[in-house]
Amino acid sequence: MRMLHTMLRVGNLDKSLQFYTEVLGMTLLRKRDYEEGRFTLAFVGYGDEQNHTVLELTHNWDTTSYELGNAYGHIAIGVEDAYQACAEIKSRGGNVVREAGPMKGGVTVIAFVEDPDGCKIELIQLDKDARNN
């Protein structure tokens, strides 16, 4: 078994695709409209679906926003340099809601950004040993 994807409902598919592809650097892997169901599915990620876990963005045509609720946490993305990643995300118009720095009570460098629907994405700076494995 392996994880295939995580699904997020988005209020504005164009804004979300722009964020995940242009700001976070993912690739749009596939997109399909389901006219009878009045929704669109778009899959984005850092690699093909055969070998990588991806993100499914679901846009229900008649819904423009969602409440996150208190069960949702965040999506985590490993980065080589969280400080540089934050600078690049800001330069592309992204919203950094927690600047890069050590996590409270630890040494791992993290940061948080927010997508157009308010979903949090954690950037975790990978240590050199993790990058080399």
Would you name the residues annotated as active-site residues? 122
> How many whole angstroms separate alpha carbon 95 and alpha carbon 114?
6
Question: Which H or E run includes 58?
Answer: strand 54-60
Instruction: Give the residue among 111, 105, 108 at the shortest CA–CA distance from 130.
Output: 108
